Amino acid sequence: MLSVIRLLSIDELLLQMVDAQAALIEEMENLLDVAETLVVEKELRVTRSLLELPV
């Protein structure tokens, strides 16, 4: 049985690249959101601990 090889057009390849880049950007945005949340929480903990120091 012969398999049929379909060559992708340049337009199809470019569209696949754009889709992959969009997915990568979305994933990076998600990771940056998580990092920002972690930083904000850390800042709150540090601020709280400084405010609770005995004088």
Environment class of 23 (CB within 10 Å of its CB; exposed 0-12, middle 13-18, buried 19+): exposed
For 21-51, what is each residue's pLDDT tens digit?
A: 999 999 999 999 999 999 999 999 999 999 9
Confidence at residue 2, expressed as pLDDT on a 0 to 100 scale: 60
Concatenated DSSP letters for 7-53? PPPHHHHHHHHHHHHHHHHHHHHHHHHHHHHHHHHHHHHHHHHHHTS
pTM across the whole model: 0.68
